[in-house]
Structure 1
Amino acid sequence: MTDLGLYRHLDQMAPWNDRLQVLEVTGVTDEAPDVKTFTFRSDNQTWFRYKPGQFVTLELPTPDGPLMRTYTLSSSPSRPFSIAVTVKAQVGSIGTRWMFDHLAPGSHVKAYGPGGDFSLHSHPAAKYLFISAGSGVTPMMSMLRWLNDCAPWTDVGFVNCARRPEEIIFRKELELLGGHMPGLSLGFMIEERSSREGWYGHMGRIDAIRLPLLAPDFREREIFCCGPDPFMRAVRGMLEAAGFDMAKYHQESFAAPTVEEIPALFAAPAQDGVAVPVEAATPIRFALSDVDADCVAGQTVLQTARASGVRIPAACEFGLCGTCKVKKVSGSVEMSHNGGILDHEIDDGFILACCSKPLSALEIEA
């Protein structure tokens, strides 16, 4: 018998809260070689509110301890009862391989987010061009699925590059959407032929000659690009050389932060056998953990927490993903983030621990 209590209207439900609820796996789908889509629902009948193209950070409970991995959502917020990430297991990947081996329908995983500003909602335009390679197609798919549901007449060019035909992620769905969306123009490009299926489309790598063939009016479009860093550098350089207005170019990247050397608390040469402190440390109280710590000059709140045995989840560690968001009860900080926190959250007293340095004694709700 169908559980009639399972369904509630959207206005009867609250939005998903990443601090209170976890995700339950509802499906795992093979998309391409070493590529799977994991679909989730809330464990508490809540709905998901996000912009197409945003990401979430999953906390994977591996045997060596929690592992934080950030993945772009491939699902669309126009279908708010579930979310999905589509991930590719690269050579040597740890988190994605763990997901492949351990996540199945019924599994539960903690997640944080959504976050990020890589969305057509943040850059409205009359015409779009989505350029992607490999698993970089995921935010493009999220945005295209939203357009198909909410504005199917939109003029959008969709260019995807892959090594072989069978490695084009979402190919069948994209071709289906191409028949439903009158303004959608699809362009696939592969680097080498395959013995598994024939190919009669574009071959090679995207360059200044092939781009105008795939999108003749690319200079008139708002361009979104996602893929491996060398791919995005090549696209950016090609557009700059073509005189494209780079204010209309946007790319998604989870670049590694620059490692900052943290000065020692007693870094000055010893005088008469006694170390001389360079600068006094700033006290931080982690209220929920009941821990008092000293923050060395130059350290972030996150670094001090780790040194004191206080666990604050963190993934990117350069102010982008928002995973390390914590409530500041008192005190002041200097925070240099990259979009991982909203203005109203800052007004409410939240900070990103990874990029906040104390200016006074602090009390943190962690």
Structure 2
Amino acid sequence: MDMPDPKTGPVPTGYFRWEPEEDDVLICRAVRDETHDVKTFVFAPRFKRQFEFVSGQFLTFEFEIGGETIHRCYTISSPPSRPDTVTITVKRVPGGPISNWLHDEFRPGMMLRCTIPMGDFSWAGMQDQKFLFLSGGSGITPMMSMARSAFDHALVSDIEFIHAARTPADIIFRDELEFMGKRNHSIKPTFICEDDAVFERWPGFRGRFDRAKLEMICPDFKERVVFTCGPAPFMKAARRIFEDCGFDMSRYHQESFNFDSFTEEAQDEINVATEIIETPLTIFQIEFTKSGRVVECPENMTVLEAARRAGLRLPSSCSKGLCGTCKSNVKAGTLDMQHSGGIRQREIDAGKALLCCSKPTSDLVIER
């Protein structure tokens, strides 16, 4: 009998899968403190259902805060081997409206709307047996889902797990990773701290992640598949280290959601659009009702790009029509939207659109 690949998620029989098209509301079952500024939120469907996803995917939640609807995506930190609940792990960000609301106001029993799990930052389907997980700060969550799945299924995969944190007190999932490492020797966690904590002097690797530490911790890294996630500067530095080492970058995978700046892909598209704009194009007027701003948008540019180029800071993340973060109400006008699943048909029918993948075909009025 063919055995299911544990990396692709559970294959239970006789169960009902959670279908957000039928009921997109999740109820919070528990809130757990991970560090002084990181909490894990445990969710379950309102009715008896089970989640189906692969490690590394994310969920996009809808928040109603201060009379405004805000969409944010969070990577799933729980493994697919525990399908009755799903968890997200959120770090408090100074001034961040969502993270602070979750930490201060959100409690068990409260509910949020959510989309299906999405994203392709995953080891699902890979036949490789040697992996290097490299994370910084709250970027640990997708790799933690993979490691938990490996532990639950007693996989024989060889996993080097390197996590960088500011201090020992900031190491997310420290106790659990150390426990998994002791019980399953194929999972080998190593922590790097920049400084000591108030009540703990750090005896391990110190400073920032660099090539020397990589070669000491994981001398056979060139034989592994690498997954990396963390803050933008961490990601940029890590990628440069592997490129300089002559690593086969086809075996290097990274994921990072950044709500404050363009992704590299989006910036490339903007540069291309800047070059093309010199040719005759139809220019449309885009009015944003909340800010009162009106910007010009050529027919070959997305609404999000035009807004950003005009200095408007609109929420976005994937820039691929996938996560739903930039979802907005279109009050008037028409557009061409080429999304990748980040919006439902009923939302489109209600006049919503994803600005990151929508190009105007007329003047627009957008509720932003």
Aligned mates of 2:178, 2:106 — CA distance in 1? 29
Q: Which residue of 1 aligns with 2:97?
A: 94
**1:15 CA displacement:** 2.8
> Which among 15, 20, 24 is matched to residue 23 of structure 2?
20
> Which among 143, 149, 152 is matched to residue 146 of structure 2?
143
1:316 to 2:323 alignment: no
Distance 1:183 1:358, change over 3 A: same
1:82 to 2:85 alignment: yes
Aligned mates of 1:234, 1:299 — CA distance in 2? 31
The Cα RMSD (Å) is: 3.6
**1:216 CA displacement:** 1.1
Aligned mates of 2:355, 2:21 — CA distance in 1? 17
Q: Give the aligned residue type for 2:180.
A: L
Aligned mates of 2:213, 2:59 — CA distance in 1? 34
Write out per-residue CA displacement over residues 165-205 of structure 1, whole angstroms, 9 at most, x where no aligned residue.
Answer: 11100000001000121211221110111231233211111
1:250 to 2:277 alignment: no
Q: Give the aligned residue type for 2:320.
A: G
- Larger CA deviation: 191-200 vs 162-171: 191-200
1:1-366 map, 5 Å: 11-17=14-20, 20-121=23-124, 123-255=126-258, 256-257=261-262, 258=266, 279=282, 297-298=299-300, 315-316=316-317, 318-319=319-320, 321-323=322-324, 333=336, 335=338, 340-341=340-341, 354-357=356-359
Distance 1:280 1:35, change over 3 A: closer
Distance 1:192 1:84, change over 3 A: same
Q: Is the 8 A contact 1:131 1:224 kept in 2?
A: yes
Q: Is the 8 A contact 2:302 2:355 kept in 1?
A: yes
Aligned mates of 1:115, 1:156 — CA distance in 2? 24
Q: Is the 8 A contact 1:302 1:354 kept in 2?
A: yes
**1:69 CA displacement:** 1.3
Structure 2: gaps of 5 or more residues: 1-11, 274-279, 285-296, 306-314, 329-333, 346-352, 363-368
Distance 1:248 1:356, change over 3 A: same
Q: Is the 8 A contact 1:86 1:138 kept in 2?
A: yes
**1:151 CA displacement:** 4.2
**1:298 CA displacement:** 4.4
1:209 partner SS: helix
Q: Is the 8 A contact 1:116 1:320 kept in 2?
A: no
1:244 partner SS: coil
Aligned mates of 2:106, 2:190 — CA distance in 1? 33
2:104 partner SS: helix
Q: Is the 8 A contact 1:57 1:70 kept in 2?
A: yes
Q: Is the 8 A contact 2:139 2:256 kept in 1?
A: no
Matched residue count: 307
Distance 1:145 1:139, change over 3 A: same
Q: Give the aligned residue type for 1:183.
A: S
**1:299 CA displacement:** 6.4
**1:113 CA displacement:** 3.0
Aligned mates of 2:145, 2:220 — CA distance in 1? 23
Aligned mates of 1:280, 1:236 — CA distance in 2? 38
**1:322 CA displacement:** 3.6
Q: Is the 8 A contact 2:15 2:49 kept in 1?
A: no
Aligned mates of 2:304, 2:21 — CA distance in 1? 19
Write out per-residue CA displacement over residues 111-143 of structure 1, whole angstroms, 9 at most, x where no aligned residue.
Answer: 123111111115442200000111011111001
1:237 partner SS: helix
1:113 partner SS: coil
Write out per-residue CA displacement over residues 195-254 of structure 1, whole angstroms, 9 at most, x where no aligned residue.
Answer: 312332111111111111111110000000111111111111111111110110011112
Q: Give the aligned residue type for 2:299.
A: A
TM-score, normalised via structure 2 length: 0.73
Distance 1:79 1:280, change over 3 A: same
**1:62 CA displacement:** 0.5
1:225 partner SS: strand
Whichever of the two has the greater Rg, that structure is 1
Aligned mates of 1:99, 1:159 — CA distance in 2? 28
Aligned mates of 1:151, 1:355 — CA distance in 2? 41
Q: Is the 8 A contact 2:281 2:298 kept in 1?
A: no
